[in-house]
Amino acid sequence: MKRSPLLHAELSHVIASLGHGDMLVIGDAGLPIPDGPRRIDLAVARGVPGITDVLKAVLSEMQVEAIVVADEALQGDAKALPGWYPQSLGIAPQTVSHEEFKRRTAKARAIVRTGECTPYANIILVAGVKF
């Protein structure tokens, strides 16, 4: 019996179909979504759901081998990650420019739009494999 958080059906399907190295983007309400990747809009209202809640649910189902964030997400201090960053994974994030982050989103399998309104609350999760 599944004992993890309930996921949106479309999001659950995307996670189940991810292959090794596939990217899943979780972004704030202002992240531009390019044509191509599957779009999953979870936003209900300003701030709902927040990126932290969505990350917790996704990470309960997804094996992650790498994380990418835009430089701006660090807010100028390379040692102070935002409060929504999943420290529990023990994976040091790769940081890229905002422009490179947007280029990578175009190659993602899916982009999940949250109701988060914090600037640069965007993260790319790269699927790993459980052994």
Catalytic residue among 20, 39, 103, 107: 20
The CATH code of domain 9-127 reads: 3.40.1650.10
* DSSP letter string, 30-48: T----SSSEEEE---BTTB
Q: Is 92 annotated as a binding residue?
A: no
**Helices then strands, each counted (H, E), the chain:** 3, 6
Q: Is 66 annotated as a binding residue?
A: no
**13 given a catalytic annotation:** no
Model pLDDT for residues 22-50, shown as the tens digit of each residue: 999 999 999 999 999 999 999 999 999 99
Q: Is 121 annotated as a binding residue?
A: yes
Name the residue with tokens 């100028």: 76
Model pLDDT for residues 10-22, shown as the tens digit of each residue: 999 999 999 999 9
Model pLDDT for residues 55-112, shown as the tens digit of each residue: 988 988 899 999 999 888 776 554 455 667 777 778 888 999 989 999 999 999 999 9
